Amino acid sequence: MSRSRAPLFLGLAVAGGAGYYLYSAGGSPKVAEKQFEHDLKSVRDRATSSSSNVKTDAEKYGAQAGAKLDSAVAQAQNEYNKATTQARDAAAEAVDKAETYGKDVRSQVNKSIDAFDKKVEDAASKTKSGVSSWFGGK
C-alpha cells in the first residue's frame, strides 16, 4: 500500500521554517520566536487589508453596475415614452384622416342622393303631367 507523503513534507517544512528563524536570529530561540510572531502579524495585516480592499472594490464595482443598470432603465423608459408618444400621434392623425375621409364620403353621397332625388322628381312631374293630360288636365 502506498502511504501519504504529506506528513513527511509538512514536517520538513516546519523544520525548515524553524531552522530559518533560528539562523536569522543568530541561534537565539527568543529572538526567533519574536521574529516569527512579527512575520505572522504582518501576514495577517496584509490579508486583512487586502480583504478590506476587496470589500471596497466590490462596493465600487457594485455602485458602477448599479449606475449602469439605472442608466439602462432610464434609457428604456425614455424609449418607451417616445414610442408611446409616436403611437398616440399616429393614432390621432389616423383618426383625423378617417374623419376627413368620412366627411368627404358623406358629402359625395348626399350630392348623389340630391341628384337622384332631382331626377326622380323631374321624372315624376313629367309622368304626372302626362297622366293628367289623359284625363283632360294640363
- How far from the centroid of its chain's Cα atoms is residue 76's Cα? 5
| pLDDT tier for residue 97 given thresholds of 50, 70 and 90 | very high
- Per-residue three-class SS string for 9-51: HHHHHHHHHHHHHHHHCCCCHHHHHHHHHHHHHHHHHHHHHHH
| pLDDT tier for residue 32 given thresholds of 50, 70 and 90 | confident
Q: What is the pLDDT of residues 33-63, one digit of tens each?
A: 888 888 888 888 887 777 777 778 788 888 8
pLDDT of residue 15 exceeding 80: yes
- Rounded Cα distance, 103 and 99, in Å: 6
